[in-house]
Amino acid sequence: MFNLKTTVAAVALMALAGGVAKAEIKIATVGPITGQYASFGEQLKRGAEMAVKDINAAGGVLGEKVKLIVGDDACDPKQAVAVANKLVAEGVVFVAGHFCSGSSIPASKVYEEEGVLMISPASTNPKLTEEGGDNVFRVCGRDDQQGIVAGNYLADYWGGKKIAILHDKTAYGKGLADETLAQLKKRGIEPAMYEAYTAGEKDYSALISKMKAAGIDVMYIGGYHTEAGLMIRQARQQGYNVQLVSGDALVTDEYWKITGKAGEGTLMTFSPDPRKNPEAAPVVAEFKAVGYEPEGYTLYTYGAIQAWAEAAKAAGSLDLDKMIASLRSNKFKTVLGEIGFDEKGDVTAPGYLWYEWKDGTYDYAPVKVNTSR
Amino acid sequence: MESTFEYFLEQLINGVTLGSVYGLIAIGYTMVYGIIGMINFAHGEIFMIGSFIALITFMILGIVGITWVPLAILIVLIVAMLLTSVYGWTLERIAYRPLRNSPRLAALITAIGMSIFLQNYVQLLQGARNKPMQPIIRGGIELMRQGDYVVSLSYLQMFIILLTIVLMAVFSLIIAKTSLGRQQRACEQDQKMASLLGVDVDRTISLTFVMGSALASVAGVIFLINYGVIDFYIGFLAGVKAFTAAVLGGIGSLPGAMLGGMLIGLIEAFWSGYFTVEYKDVAAFSILVLVLIFRPTGLLGKPDVEKV
């Protein structure tokens, strides 16, 4: 009798919990909210919050309100899996994340097993979609595109000079550096130096002295803004005029806060700046009204959530298979322009352009973009 | 180029600068271990707090309008040493003293707990983002030149090395010549006997924590001025390296801590300079293992004398 009672109570409780959960759709964004890449976590969080606010103001998705959960993986692969499991347990149906490739790849396996849709706004390592399940999409480019642009630039502009290629041993950093190296070698150029450094350290003076002594003219860094910023700062402190070239992990104003004047002239590859899209103008204005500059991956996160909401509208359901089919077959009007996804889950739109840091902000650089393989 | 003396000199300067920071933190580990036989794992966090206090003080000085660099640095050093010492004293008073006579393991676990607590405390209070500061000391003197390759010693590096030497000398004198130093050495040898002879053991231990924290805060100030970027997590890596330095030099020995710090800094710089940067930590720790195999008490550590 007692057993029956408990069972009834448990069923009733579950039904109640289910009833509450039905009232809203839970989605999440996950990025480094803490840790040394926290400035990127803020971009993701800001972008996601604004997107959810705007979607709810326009009536939600399929007539239901959207609730955003912000997860923190600190760009640590172990923590990323833990957060992914937690989100799955909370009943999240869609994740706009993660930021670091090293986190996104292991987390995507969890989402695949549990049937959760994932659109990464920022993880560029090719493996994410190449080896990932059908549930994995991304709105940013891939490092094999980015590496070709970077490798060609180094060959075109610095062909006769000494080139150093550095990476931070992470999935993103090493992946990007190796793609760049491969393209450079394809162009028949051997770099003068190839080194790996440890992320999270602050002293790179020995490495800088080494490059200075080897007469390196240009250094290509596959890594994040904190380390790249410290390196260029320490290079200038040693009176060493090396050109820094890097990838999309420098698109945060924190880079300039670290380097100050030393960051002047740093080149980086990044997808087209969505702030310049006419479609994005009202959203950009909305961000600026609350005193936030939607730099870097902010609008990419906004766009990922927009694409998800549009896909749900087109599919008329949140069922995973229908959502995957909808994402692959439709075109979506987002702040990133009109985007679609291919079979692998990569965004069909734009590749990479060159940017230059100047006076505390980045803008298109007067450098030829060469995408020939 | 890499085989020249100029390059060697440049890497030597890099290594000594880094070693100064490690050495100053290592002294805190070694002094506490010497006196109560406990590894204070929260010491790296004390260093981190020193660094944050320095940053906040610099900002306040900027607002108040004190921008003459030598005066600003002097004020920052004094404020950081004082406030960080309060943290170190409080740490000992609330976390370690109640456990004075309990098993060593209890104190060790408490230390790890305090380390995590202090990290989260700063993270919540100051936020998780990097805190950058622009360089305040620029320029330097040219030591050597070979073609385009210039070896320079910046004023900042000179300041760091000199400050470290002065502090080392002062603290060695305190330990060797003053009555506080005598009390510390007495407590190190035998706490019960020392207390029977009228030494206030609790007070002496508190002052040891205060001294260690003050030195760690100086390392924090140096770290902030030199690298210009701090976050709530810097104490962990620096703490591990400094602890390694203390063990390498012989834990419990003051000159040993400084020597160990310098050695770790130099090994890292030279290994990065002449071999691959990727394996510099492997090199540093391999040398630690080798030293401990042949000298289990570290380079300058005294072997434990069995007390009868």
Torsion over CA: B251, B253, B257, B262 (sign):
negative
Judged against a pLDDT cut of 70, whether residue A13 lies above it is answered with: no
Q: Are B160 and B226 in contact (CB under 8 A)?
A: yes
With an 8 Å Cβ cutoff, is A293 touching chain B?
A: no
Q: State whether A209 and B130 contact (CB < 8 Å).
A: no
For residue A242, pLDDT beyond 90: yes
Which tokens in the block code for residue B204? Answer: 């002496």
Q: Which residues of A touch B223 (CB under 8 A)?
A: 202
Q: Please tell me the predicted confidence (pLDDT) of residue A1.
A: 46
| Distances from the Cα of A305 to the Cα of A127, B213, B259, angstroms | 22, 48, 56
Question: Which domains are present in chain A?
Answer: 8-141+275-339 (3.40.50.2300), 144-270+353-364 (3.40.50.2300)
Rounded Cα gap, residues A222 and A211, in angstroms: 16
> Considering only CB atoms, which chain A residues are within 8 Å of B280?
206
pLDDT at B142: 86
Cβ A169–B278 below 8 Å, yes or no?
yes
Can you tell me the distance from the alpha carbon of A303 to that of A72, in angstroms, rounded to the nearest whole number?
20
Instruction: Say how far apart CA A363 and CA A256 lie, in whole Å.
Output: 13
Task: Identify the pLDDT of residue B245.
Answer: 95
Mean per-residue pLDDT, A25-31: 96
Cα separation, A283 vs A54, whole angstroms: 9
| CATH code 1.10.3470 for B4-294 | yes
Among B1, B134, B280, whose Cβ lies nearest the Cβ of A214? B1
A258·B229 Cβ contact <8 A: yes
Give chain A positions within 8 Å (CB) of B48. none
Q: Residue type at A294? A: P
The answer to whether residue A6 neighbours chain B at the CB level (below 8 Å) is no
Closest by Cβ to B2, choosing from A36, A214, A230: A214
CA distance B151 to chain A (A): 8
pTM: 0.89
Q: With helix as H, strand as E and coil as C, how does B53-106 read?
A: HHHHHHHHHHHHCCCCHHHHHHHHHHHHHHHHHHHHHHHHHHHHHHHCCCCHHH
With CB atoms and an 8 Å threshold, state whether A210 touches B273: yes
- Output the CA angle B185-B40-B45, nearest 5 degrees: 125
- Mutate which: A73, A198, A203, A259, vs B, most B CBs within 10 A: A203
Average confidence (pLDDT) over A294-309 = 95
Mean pLDDT of the region A351-363: 93
Q: Which residue of A46, A197, A205, A208 to mutate against B (max B Cβ within 10 Å)?
A: A205
Torsion of CA A85, A87, A90, A93, to 10 degrees: -110
Using the CB atoms, write b or e for B219-235: b if 16+ within 10 Å: bbbbbbbbbbbbbbbbb
Spatial CA neighbour of A138 closest among A108, A167, A113, A110? A108
| Residue in B128, B152, B270 nearest the CB of A239 | B152
* DSSP-derived 3-state class of residue A204: coil
Residues in A 71-100 with any Cβ partner in B closer than 8 A: none
Give the rounded distance of the alpha carbon of A186 from its chain centre: 27
Report the C-alpha dihedral over residues A53, A58, A63, A68, rounded to 10 degrees.
-10
pLDDT tens-digit readout, B80-94: 999 999 999 999 999
Q: Supply the Cα-derived Rg of chain B in whole angstroms.
A: 20
Query: Is B129–A33 a contact, with Cβ atoms under 8 angstroms apart?
Result: no
Q: What is the mean pLDDT of residues B227-239?
A: 91
pLDDT at A17: 47
List A333's β-bridge partners, or say none.
Answer: A338
pLDDT digits (tens, 9 = 90+) for B180-226: 999 999 998 888 999 999 999 999 999 999 999 999 999 999 999 99
**pLDDT value, residue A21:** 43
Nearest CB to B234; choose among A38, A202, A257? A202
Task: Report pLDDT digits (tens) over B8-53.
Answer: 999 999 999 999 999 999 999 999 998 888 899 999 999 999 999 9
Q: Rounded to the nearest 10 degrees, what angle do helices A320-329 and A298-315 cross at?
A: 110
Query: From the list B154, B270, B276, which residue is nearest A195 (CB)?
Result: B276
Q: What span, in angstroms and rounded, lies between the C-alpha atoms of B135 and B225?
A: 7
Phi-psi region of B258 (alpha: psi -120 to 50; beta: other; left: phi over 0): alpha
| For chain B, percent of residues with pLDDT exceeding 90 | 70
pLDDT for residue B139: 83
Question: Residue B143 — pLDDT band, cuts 50, 70, 90?
Answer: confident
- The closest CB to that of A207, out of B152, B154, B272, belongs to B272
Where on the phi/psi map is residue A252: left (φ > 0), alpha (ψ -120 to 50), or beta?
A: beta
Q: Quote ipTM for the complex.
A: 0.90
Q: How far is B121 from chain A (nearest CA, A)?
A: 13
Q: Would you place residue A3 in the very low, low, confident or very high pLDDT band (cuts 50, 70, 90)?
A: low
H/E element, B259: helix B254-274
Q: Which segments of chain A does DSSP mark as H helices, in order?
A: 2-22, 38-57, 77-89, 101-114, 127-130, 143-158, 171-186, 205-214, 225-237, 253-259, 281-289, 298-315, 320-329
**pLDDT band with cut points at 50, 70 and 90 for residue A363:** very high
Domain residue limits, chain B = 4-294
A254, B129: Cβ pair inside 8 Å? yes
Instruction: Report the range of poorest mean pLDDT among A305-314, B43-52, B142-151, B180-189.
Output: B142-151
pLDDT at A200: 87
CB atoms within 10 A of CB B152: 18
> What are B242-280's pLDDT values in tens digits?
999 999 999 888 899 999 999 999 999 999 999 988 898
Is residue B140 very low, low, confident or very high in pLDDT (cuts 50, 70, 90)?
A: confident
Predicted pLDDT at A181: 97
A212 touches chain B (CB under 8 A): yes
